[in-house]
Amino acid sequence: MATTSTSKHRQLLVSFSGMDGAGKSTQIANVHSAVERSGGRVLLRTFWDDVVVGTRFREDFSHKVLKSEKGIGAPGKPVERRDKNVRSWYLNLARYAMYFADALNLARVVRRVRNTGADVIIFDRYIYDQIANLPLDTPFARAYIALVKLVIPRPDVIFFLDADPVAARARKPEYPVAFLEQNRRAYLLLAELIGGVTVIPPLPLNEALRRMDSEFAKAYPATLNSASTLVVGADNFSSTPAA
Q: Domain total for the chain?
A: 1
Which range, of 51-65, 204-218, 227-241, averages the lowest pLDDT?
A: 227-241
Q: Give Cβ neighbours of residue 160 (< 8 Å, ≥ 6 apart).
A: 17, 18, 128, 187, 188, 190, 191, 197, 198, 199, 200
Whether 119 is in a domain gets the answer: yes
Burial of 84 (0-12, 13-18, 19+ CB in 10 A): buried
Whether 5 is in a domain gets the answer: no
Whether 6 is in a domain gets the answer: no
Q: Structural domain of residue 142, as residue ranges?
A: 12-237
Q: Give Cβ neighbours of residue 59 (< 8 Å, ≥ 6 apart).
A: 242
Quick one: pLDDT at residue 208?
Answer: 94
This prediction's pTM? 0.89
Q: What are phi and psi of 206, to 5 degrees?
A: -60, -40
Whether 4 is in a domain gets the answer: no
User: Confidence class of residue 229 from pLDDT cuts 50, 70 and 90?
Assistant: low
**Cα-based torsion angle of the residue sequence 163, 197, 128, 230 in order, rounded to the nearest 10 degrees:** 50
Whether 1 is in a domain gets the answer: no
Whether 225 is in a domain gets the answer: yes
pLDDT in tens, 175-227: 999 999 999 999 999 999 999 999 999 999 999 999 999 999 999 998 877 65
Of the candidates 182, 214, 183, which has an alpha carbon nearest to the alpha carbon of residue 198?
A: 214
CATH of residue 212 = 3.40.50.300
Whether 7 is in a domain gets the answer: no
Whether 167 is in a domain gets the answer: yes
